[in-house]
Amino acid sequence: MKEEIYTIPVMDGFKEDCECPFCAMKRTLEDNTINYVLSPSYMEEDVRGETNDKGFCPQHMQRLYTEGNALGLALMLHSHMKAQHETIDELLKDSTAPKKRFGKKQTETSPLWQHYEHLLHSCYVCERVEEVFNRYLTAFFMLWKRDAEFREIVKNCKGFCFQHFIQLYELSGQHLKGDMLLEFRQLISSLQTENLKRVEDDLEWFTLKFDYRYKEQPWKNAKDALARSILKINSQWADKSTKK
Ligand SMILES: [Zn+2]
Ligand SMILES: [Zn+2]
């Protein structure tokens, strides 16, 4: 089965000691995609065609820029820029003056505006990560169904970020049935409640440590509570910033 190769990164994600194994998977996937984009892969016609067309969201452009491969990025962007320049020139040539001059709203968007929307919402890295990540989710349920050892690992993880918890809960309806579905949903719900409570308590203790009355008290597990809370709330972004 094709999904078989995706079971390894899923296992690796659960081996990481973090607030969401799926965020860990996504972060590795994102790192690999960034490295891939900056590698000589840009010379491959199909990859270049895709990066020329989709470009990058601001977050990933920033990542690419700070990665330190100036030549790799410049070569790719040169190609992307030329392709976009040509496309926009073509669209400008085809654009005609608006027909309705007074009062009425224009209901149809022009091809130039459609292209703007496309540029605004497309990103080669985001789309590639999302595509592979969806396969990881399928692989997760495949492992869940057949591997008792894996189920134990999941039961002992630290829960998930909000986004991945909801995704997992909703998707389970497509992959599991009957008692197995019920058990799974109950399990991840109590796992999530228990672990949110843990992080909430840590965060509360973090705030109390600013109070002079608790100044001399130990930090307990609260030192990195802020970064871990951001991860629970906002997915993998915060974890990246706290990665050692
Ligand atoms: Zn997550
Ligand atoms: Zn992106």
Type and span of the H or E element at 201: helix 178-208
Q: Is residue 218 part of a domain?
A: yes
Query: What is the extent of the structural domain holding 7?
Result: 2-97+109-242
The closest ligand to the CA of 125 turns out to be: 2
Query: How many Å lie between the centroid of ligand 2 and the Cα of residue 55?
Result: 9
Query: How many Å lie between the centroid of ligand 1 and the Cα of residue 227?
Result: 13
Query: How many Å lie between the centroid of ligand 2 and the Cα of residue 117?
Result: 15
Q: Are 3 and 37 in contact (CB under 8 A)?
A: no
Neighbours of 87 (CB within 10 A): 17
Per-residue pLDDT, 238: 44
The closest ligand to the CA of 25 turns out to be: 1
pLDDT along the chain (244 residues), means of 10: 86 95 95 90 81 95 93 91 96 74 67 94 96 96 97 97 98 98 98 98 97 94 95 72 38
Q: 176 in helix, strand or coil?
A: coil
Q: Rounded to whole angstroms, what are the CA distances from 135 to 13, 29, 130, 227?
A: 14, 12, 9, 28
Q: Is residue 140 part of a domain?
A: yes
Q: Quick check: pTM over 0.95?
A: no
The closest ligand to the CA of 13 turns out to be: 1
Query: How many Å lie between the centroid of ligand 1 and the Cα of residue 224?
Result: 17
Q: Is residue 174 part of a domain?
A: yes
Cβ partners under 8 Å of residue 66, min gap 6: none
Q: Is residue 103 part of a domain?
A: no
Enter the tokens of residue 149: 């050892």
Per-residue pLDDT, 101: 55
Dihedrals phi, psi of 106, to nearest 5 degrees: -80, 120
Question: How many domains does one find in the chain?
Answer: 1
Per-residue pLDDT, 168: 98
Neighbours of 235 (CB within 10 A): 20
The closest ligand to the CA of 122 turns out to be: 2
Per-residue pLDDT, 19: 96
> C-alpha angle with apex 222: 221 to 227, nearest 5 degrees?
115
Q: Is residue 46 part of a domain?
A: yes
Query: How many Å lie between the centroid of ligand 1 and the Cα of residue 134?
Result: 13
Quote the CA–CA distance of 178 and 169 in Å, as a whole number. 14
The closest ligand to the CA of 33 turns out to be: 2
The closest ligand to the CA of 54 turns out to be: 2
Q: Is residue 102 part of a domain?
A: no
Q: Is residue 213 part of a domain?
A: yes
Query: How many Å lie between the centroid of ligand 2 and the Cα of residue 92?
Result: 27
Q: Is residue 20 part of a domain?
A: yes
Query: How many Å lie between the centroid of ligand 2 and the Cα of residue 132?
Result: 14
Query: How many Å lie between the centroid of ligand 2 and the Cα of residue 32?
Result: 13
Per-residue pLDDT, 46: 85
